[in-house]
Structure 1
Amino acid sequence: MTDAPRILIHTSDPAPMLARLAEVAPEIEARGHDSYDGLDPVLAEFRPDVAYSVAFQGRVGYPRAALLGAHGPQWIAVGGAGVDHLTPWDAGAVTVSNAAGVAAAMIAEYVFGAVLHFTLDIEGMAADRAERHWERSRLMTPLKGKTILIVGLGHTGQAVAERAKAFGLRVIGTRARPQAMENVDAVHSPDALPGLWGKADIVVLSVPLLPGTRGLVNSRALMAMKRDAILVDVSRGGVLDGAALVNAMRMGHLRGAALDVFETEPLPGDHPLWGLDRVILSPHCSAVYDGWAMQSFALFLDNLERWRKGEALFNIVDPDRGY
């Protein structure tokens, strides 16, 4: 910790953040870097104490080795929630924090936008409109009384639970350390998932990518879900087995799936997911909204003030737990 730390802002567009930092702390020396390439020499020359970094081009090619190397900072503040692009790191050598919670409300809106897309059959109505067909027998599917399973009751999972209750859903969920939670009817350990998949009409994935969650939703899990269940994945690519999902949906399993994260991003143009019906595909954007980047940076500035005062940081990530 220093009175006027050197700060590196590593995003696709560091200019607005550099300007904001200059407003609130003009005594701080800061630099921006807008590429995954060329970070090593910048770190060697600038020697930042702190780096605010966003994985703005995905995990592939992210300069993890540079940031965690000999010239890396004492503290890496991740601008998003996921930190699997940095894992593993030595918590004794570097502190890593994240921006968990900043986009939880937006992600929860994405979840229910996707759910309603399927329960209201938006695609079917669009097809009828294109054909000028008046379907007299069309029925809506109410959410009230149905069960939603939230796999991962962190900031995002709790935001989903709050909105689920407004729709009259029964909410069940999992967290590493089960305890009673507001808006959740039953909290379980992840070990209970094999017995929970088949109880849910809606399954929401909102867990970090860890060794224990990689491939968590595999063929066995998918086939254990209700045939007409809706699956929404806002976790991290790799939690859901994409090939297993393709096979399950080709067999007519699941009412629909909304996927915002993928094992490989961008999703390759020849991936079979592109050709599936009853699937919503979005480019890892459920957390992205106008003003999100600066809200995340505002969280960082609050934490930076604590760091400069020698106070404990919030949102410190345990590398073993991934959050």
Structure 2
Amino acid sequence: MQVLSTGKLKTNIKERLRETYPEVTFHFYPSMQEAEPKLAGAEILLTYGEDLNAELIQKASHLKWIMVLSAGLERMPFQAIKERDILVTNARGIHSIPMAEYTLSVMLQVARDTKQVLANESSKIWKKKTPIREITGSTIGVVGTGAIGSEIARVAKAFRMKTLGVNRSGHEVDHFDVIYKNEELSSMLPKCDYVVSVLPSTSETANYFTKEQFAAMKESGVFINIGRGDTVDEQDLIDALNEHQIAHAVLDVFKDEPLDSSHPFWKMENVTVTPHHSAISDNYQPRAIEIFEHNLIQYQKGTNDLKNVIDPDRGY
């Protein structure tokens, strides 16, 4: 059994995999360009999901399973994968801790006007009277109640926040006080002090947030996007911020990345821009490889007890 990896895995992880699974032949490369000569013989592919296309899938004549070492799958050539009946799993769930920490940290930063405080510090300005609010007891609405959304709600409970969530069916999820269906979003938004989007990029979520949703939010509301950039109509968000329909936006993801230096978001005082790093953690690779190892053992046994199996028709 040959496993080909095109992700830049840490040396200690590569060494441990080789030692733990001597019956498996591992080929580790830092890129698909360097790994491509080994592609035809690989049965399993480890990838971050951004280096595949239909042509490469066809070249991988022995490929049976793709393990994506991330949660995002929007660049995967699912039609070609489906035609070959290739199993796809991903690392869904490993981002929940760092992304929940990011979300609560930026909520505190906005509430305590940290952006202005740091600007004052840089300019050596001693200004004690800065608008500061508490997040304790406020209401958070999370759109996307999977592992990340549930962890955000769990951590928010430490601040005695009321937790509202939105998912497709309206099914109950741990740590949420109330769950709304997708079509009930407009009923939830006016109740929220903070609205957090954890939506993936799919045909169903494109421009999910437009002027209608921003108009429904509180004028004091804060919008936080840690999902995908194409779920938001950026011009509608800019208009909503300029017209003071909402108070602030914290954006970690954008339609085009990296964000162009000429983009209005950079200069807007009521926008906080971060470079798509909400999921970054020193525990990222160990957690992703833990899922891979579980699935590798089950795959070798020929069982169906695999984690995070992806439906190629839905893309998640």
TM-score using structure 1 length: 0.89
The answer as to whether partners of 2:140 and 2:193 remain within 8 angstroms in 1 is yes
Q: Percent identity?
A: 28
The answer as to whether partners of 1:223 and 1:253 remain within 8 angstroms in 2 is yes
The answer as to whether partners of 2:214 and 2:237 remain within 8 angstroms in 1 is yes
Task: Looking at secondary structure, tell me which structure has more helix per residue.
Answer: 2
Distance 1:258 1:69 in 2: 41
Greater relative contact order (Cα < 8 A, sep 6+): 1
Describe the superposition over 1:120-150 as per-residue Cα deviations: whole angstroms up to 9, x where unpaired. 11123234443433434x4531223321110
Residue number in structure 1 paired with 2:64: 74
- CA drift of 1:205 comes to 0.5
Larger mean Cα displacement after TM superposition, 138-147 or 226-235: 138-147
Residue number in structure 2 paired with 1:12: 8
What are the equivalent positions in structure 2 for 1:162-181 lying under 5 Å apart? Answer: 162-181=154-173
Distance 1:67 1:97 in 2: 18
Work out the number of aligned pairs and report it. Answer: 311
RMSD of aligned C-alpha atoms?
2.1
SS for the counterpart of 1:76 is strand
Distance 2:154 2:104 in 1: 11
**Does structure 1 residue 125 correspond to structure 2 residue 117?**
yes
SS for the counterpart of 1:52 is strand
The answer as to whether partners of 2:190 and 2:218 remain within 8 angstroms in 1 is yes
SS for the counterpart of 2:205 is coil
- CA drift of 1:8 comes to 0.8
The answer as to whether partners of 2:250 and 2:273 remain within 8 angstroms in 1 is yes
**Does structure 1 residue 104 correspond to structure 2 residue 100?**
no
Task: Give, as a single letter, the amino acid of the residue that structure 2 aligns with 1:290.
Answer: D
Distance 1:207 1:192 in 2: 16
Residue number in structure 1 paired with 2:74: 84
Residue number in structure 1 paired with 2:54: 65
**Does structure 1 residue 235 correspond to structure 2 residue 227?**
yes
Describe the superposition over 1:45-73 as per-residue Cα deviations: whole angstroms up to 9, x where unpaired. xx211111114xxx5xx322245325252
What are the equivalent positions in structure 2 for 1:214-233 lying under 5 Å apart? Answer: 214-233=206-225
Distance 2:153 2:140 in 1: 8
Residue number in structure 1 paired with 2:286: 294
**Does structure 1 residue 30 correspond to structure 2 residue 20?**
no
SS for the counterpart of 1:77 is strand
Larger mean Cα displacement after TM superposition, 108-117 or 140-149: 140-149
Distance 2:28 2:253 in 1: 27
- CA drift of 1:14 comes to 6.4
- CA drift of 1:116 comes to 0.6
Larger mean Cα displacement after TM superposition, 123-132 or 162-171: 123-132
TM-score using structure 2 length: 0.90
Change (3 A) 1:273 1:87: farther
SS for the counterpart of 1:319 is coil
- List structure 1 segments (4+ residues) > 6 angstroms apart after TM superposition: none
Change (3 A) 1:318 1:31: same
Describe the superposition over 1:19-41 as per-residue Cα deviations: whole angstroms up to 9, x where unpaired. 22112112211212322436554
Of 304, 310, 313 in structure 2, the residue corresponding to residue 317 of structure 1 is 310
Q: Which runs of 5+ in 2 are unaligned?
A: none
**Does structure 1 residue 143 correspond to structure 2 residue 139?**
no
Describe the superposition over 1:84-108 as per-residue Cα deviations: whole angstroms up to 9, x where unpaired. 1115341871111111111201100
- CA drift of 1:18 comes to 2.8
Change (3 A) 1:292 1:112: same
**Does structure 1 residue 189 correspond to structure 2 residue 174?**
no
The answer as to whether partners of 2:95 and 2:284 remain within 8 angstroms in 1 is yes
